Structure 1
């Protein structure tokens, strides 16, 4: 079940690995450097926000398994962030194994804020993916602002899905 989404998520993970490679190449203080004038304040915090999006939408909303929010300040470096994303990957894999009504739309109500949204299981999987790619651009833009532009090998890109054929 959901083999097409599993293949696509594999492509997403490969693309994420390119960004992790870039982040690993940075001086550690650049990855965590706070810039209050920039979205979420640091590259690390942006990464944490992305992982949190997967855990919230897929884990909490989709699977009904509450996840503790990810706080960037609690993730000291890229190696630790990889572990956070391993959690997100496990949640996505569980969803790929269990979601069986991908396109059935239902109304979901935020448990604390009360607002409502119409969602489907497919949307719960794809929203964090598109959200990730949006923020990957911000991560590399912040790296450039901090004096460390991404220099990638030909054929490697951080803001595109990189399939392996």
Structure 2
């Protein structure tokens, strides 16, 4: 059984890495944040980061009975804007986890997702999915940074 406390710890550690990646990306040369690179579903670093943050916002919204979709990536033209977005989403997830009990987190229930589709989901697994999804896209961004000649390291999940 996953507790809110354990999920809060996992969430905080993942966001610590995301914050470090955003700091790294803030030092990229002008234009690199929006440079399109082939072979990635979201072709630029900025779009990768916006998607990763937005997906967490979406899934936590689903857990709260809301469909929150922020497709206006143009509203986040710079890393500082993405950092503010990350902080808002982090705070919303943290608040959700602080209020959720262990039984609620570990009991599958019908939840409405995109397009009004109802799915039987376990909230704790939804939260874990946002973390694995975040690391997937962090991997994409680190590969993109390497292609741009600006490698980043030290973003493995923190054990402490």
TM-score by length of 2: 0.86
| Aligned mates of 2:39, 2:13 — CA distance in 1 | 32
| Aligned mates of 2:87, 2:71 — CA distance in 1 | 13
Contact 1:102/1:122, CA 8 A, preserved across alignment: yes
Give 1:108's match in structure 2, choosing from 106, 111, 120: 111
Residues 31-50 of structure 1 mapped to structure 2, 5 A cutoff:
31-35=33-37, 37-50=39-52
Structure ranking higher in helix proportion: 2
| Number of the residue aligned with 1:162 | 158
SS of the residue 1:102 aligns to: helix
Question: What per-residue deviation string (whole Å, max 9, x for no partner) do you get for residues 118-138 of structure 1?
Answer: 311101211111000001010
Give unpaired runs (5+ residues) of structure 1: none
Determine which structure has greater relative contact order: mean sequence separation of CA pairs < 8 Å that are 6+ residues apart, divided by chain length: 2
Contact 1:105/1:119, CA 8 A, preserved across alignment: yes
| Number of the residue aligned with 1:4 | 6
Give unpaired runs (5+ residues) of structure 2: none
CA RMSD of aligned residues (A): 2.0
2:126 is the counterpart of 1:124? yes
SS of the residue 1:38 aligns to: coil
Cα gap change, 1:110 to 1:65, in 2 (>3 Å) = closer
Contact 1:109/1:117, CA 8 A, preserved across alignment: yes
**Residue-pair matches, total:** 156
| Number of the residue aligned with 1:20 | 22
| Number of the residue aligned with 2:87 | 86
